[in-house]
Amino acid sequence: MTLTAPARATRRVSITPARTSLWRRLDWLLLLAALALIGLGTLLVWSATLHRDDLTQGRDAAYAIKHVVNAGIGTALGLAVAATDHRWVRIWTPVVYLGAVLGLALIFAPGVGLEINGSLSWIDLGGVTIQPAEFAKLAVVVSMALIVAERAEGRRTGSSLRDLDVVLDTIGGDYGLRSLATLRRGGILVWLPGPLGPEVQARGRELGVRTRFTLVEPDRAGLLAITELVESGKLRVEIADVLPLADAARAHRLGESNRTTGKLVLTVRK
């Protein structure tokens, strides 16, 4: 279907920002701060147990080594989550939370809950003791992150739209940034008003969303060449029907019927 307007030949240029790796998307300041806290914690554990033979049984660095191992496991899990599509984290967050609540409830089940060092906070799973409170900490963190993210994105977009494949932005302004939150990872934002701003491109890279814009420029030489082809009869446009703009709905129905040959033209009267 075609809307009649002054003809103008154009040249299109598609610009695609380069993809970024996981290492460039990481928040390095936050990562370095976490590593600094791990290092400080290791020193504190080592200094607190250095001369505690009753705890270390003569192995001065036993607790410090255990702390480093746990920190290494946590760091590896953190990097794994950072490399994972965040939508999977969102999907599994309710399951993790419900599992943590179930684990805490099992503490009070007869024959399952164990009291160790005067604290009823363990469960026995076939000879393996687990402290559900540790898993509950993770559940609370990811659940709160999900709630805060949902509210923040809702305020930015003002819409409940999520996981769209394509958004065509013809308005510009701050709509580009607002539209990014509605796209799925790997989706695409097509921007028409002009060149993309650096903040839109940067936010798109953070969310794993592709950003494109189409640049349209007048081409006088091309316009003249097309005019000559039309006047000589070498270039012809097959017209199926010409309808007023008020019949746009009818034109859509005709086009969707797949029974037309040629273009459907809508005329605009001044």
- In this prediction, what percent of the chain has a pLDDT beyond 90? 2
- pLDDT of 270: 61
147 and 172 part of one domain: no
183 and 202 part of one domain: yes
- pLDDT of 121: 82
> How far apart are the C-alpha atoms of 154 and 162, rounded to whole Å?
10
Cα angle for residues 36, 41, 45 (degrees, 5° grid): 155
Torsion of CA 106, 110, 111, 117, to 10 degrees: 80
Give the lowest-confidence range in 94-103, 228-237, 251-260.
251-260
- pLDDT of 203: 87
- pLDDT of 5: 38
- Give long-range contacts, CB 8 A cutoff, 24+ apart: 173-178: 176/200, 176/211, 177/203
149 and 196 part of one domain: no
The residue from 113, 142, 158 where one domain ends is 158
- pLDDT of 29: 87
195 and 143 part of one domain: no
Q: How many domains, in total, are found in the chain?
A: 3
In a domain, 113, yes or no: yes
Task: Give the Å distances, CA to CA, from 5 to 58, 223, 231, 267.
Answer: 89, 14, 18, 9
241 and 180 part of one domain: no
91 and 150 part of one domain: yes
In a domain, 91, yes or no: yes
225 pLDDT higher than 70: yes
In a domain, 234, yes or no: yes
Torsion of CA 93, 95, 97, 102, to 10 degrees: -170
The residue from 142, 158, 174 where one domain ends is 158
Give the contacts of 89 (CB within 8 A, at least 6 positions apart): 81, 142
106 and 143 part of one domain: yes
- pLDDT of 156: 53
In a domain, 257, yes or no: yes
157 pLDDT higher than 80: no
209 pLDDT higher than 70: yes
In a domain, 185, yes or no: yes
pTM of the model: 0.40
In a domain, 128, yes or no: yes
User: Which domain does 259 fall in, by range?
Assistant: 2-6+221-267
172 and 134 part of one domain: no
141 and 190 part of one domain: no
127 and 184 part of one domain: no
Q: Provide the 8-state DSSP code for 92.
A: H
Q: DSSP 3-state assignment of 229?
A: helix
In a domain, 48, yes or no: no
> How far apart are the C-alpha atoms of 180 and 177, rounded to whole Å?
5
Q: What would the mean pLDDT of 143-171 be, rounded to a whole number?
A: 74
In a domain, 205, yes or no: yes
95 and 149 part of one domain: yes
**Residue in the structure block whose two tokens are 């994105």:** 153
264 pLDDT higher than 80: yes
Q: DSSP 3-state assignment of 136?
A: helix
200 and 230 part of one domain: no
